[in-house]
Amino acid sequence: MVFQAIIKSIATGDAEQSMVLTQRALAQGFSAESVLEKGLIAGMDRVAEKFREQRVMVPEVLMASRAMHAGLSLVEPLLESSEKKSTGKIVMGTVAGDLHDIGLSLVKMLVMATGIEIINLGVDVTPKKFASAVRKEKPHILMMSALLTTTMTMMKDVIDELESLGIRKNLVVIVGGAPVDAGFAKRIGADYYFEDAFEVRAFLVENLTKLISKKSR
């Protein structure tokens, strides 16, 4: 079946094949929603399982993510008018002094598939730049990443900046990165910590509607 072929193309990181098969599934009359859920996302779920079992490494996950997005580029325009499309918004970035973006890119790739709007500030983002983006974009969620122990303390500076400007309330702050853990997240006043991008996506799929509702009160 075409969905199984799509899943295989993503698991093997074959972006060209993923696009061909996605086009074939749509031409066969399958809905954009079913191709997304039963093919593209199902393929990433298979990769996620292997990643948790340490059977694949980050570069392979990134290749799979790019394969998923090759197919998503065909599906996404068909979802634009869907009532299921999320109205959530996320601002994300890697903190000041840190130039690593592999984890950030992976989170962006996976989260985009849920339909959430993403404002990616990139790397080396200062507290003032984070705060400025939050004030301008009014996101539901702020995601921060740090890959170095020397930069992870910048996350607290960002939260302090948000609080000093009075824009921390009702904003969900999520942190992650190699040196970060749940204890650190709690100490700096973040709302959530996730170990990997798959956990982030699963959390958003389950909780985004509730988070949007909370912010609109």
Model pLDDT for residues 74-118, shown as the tens digit of each residue: 988 887 555 455 578 999 999 999 998 877 877 887 787 777 899
Q: Let me know whether 191 and 106 are in one domain.
A: yes
Q: Give the residue from 23, 58, 79 where a domain finishes.
A: 79
Q: Let me know whether 120 and 17 are in one domain.
A: no
Q: Give the residue from 31, 46, 79 where a domain finishes.
A: 79
Q: Which residues, at least 6 apart from 131, have a Cβ–Cβ distance to it below 8 Å?
A: 158, 161, 162, 165, 167
In a domain? residue 84:
no
Residue type, 171: L
Q: Let me know whether 159 and 178 are in one domain.
A: yes
SS (H, E, C) 157-175: HHHHHHHHCCCCCCCEEEE
For 30-64, the pLDDT digits (tens) are 998 899 889 998 998 888 888 878 898 878 988 99
Cβ atoms of 180 and 152 closer than 8 Å: yes
Cβ burial, residue 204 (10 Å; 0-12/13-18/19+): buried
Give pLDDT, residue 36: 86
For 121-176, the pLDDT digits (tens) are 999 999 999 999 999 999 999 999 998 999 999 999 999 999 999 999 989 999 99
Give pLDDT, residue 163: 97
Q: Let me know whether 133 and 106 are in one domain.
A: yes
pTM: 0.74
Closest CA to 113 of 212, 26, 45, 52: 45
Number of domains in the chain: 2
**Cα–Cα dist 137/148, whole Å:** 27
Q: Let me know whether 68 and 99 are in one domain.
A: no
Which residue reads 């909780």 in tokens? 207
Give pLDDT, residue 83: 47
Q: Give the residue from 38, 53, 79 where a domain finishes.
A: 79
**Predicted confidence band at 21 (pLDDT cuts at 50, 70, 90)?**
very high
Q: Let me know whether 161 and 57 are in one domain.
A: no
In a domain? residue 164:
yes
Q: Let me know whether 181 and 115 are in one domain.
A: yes
Q: Let me know whether 66 and 114 are in one domain.
A: no
For residue 128, what are the domain limits?
89-216
Q: Let me know whether 128 and 212 are in one domain.
A: yes
Tell me the pLDDT of the chain averaged across its residues: 89
- Tell me the CATH number at 198: 3.40.50.280
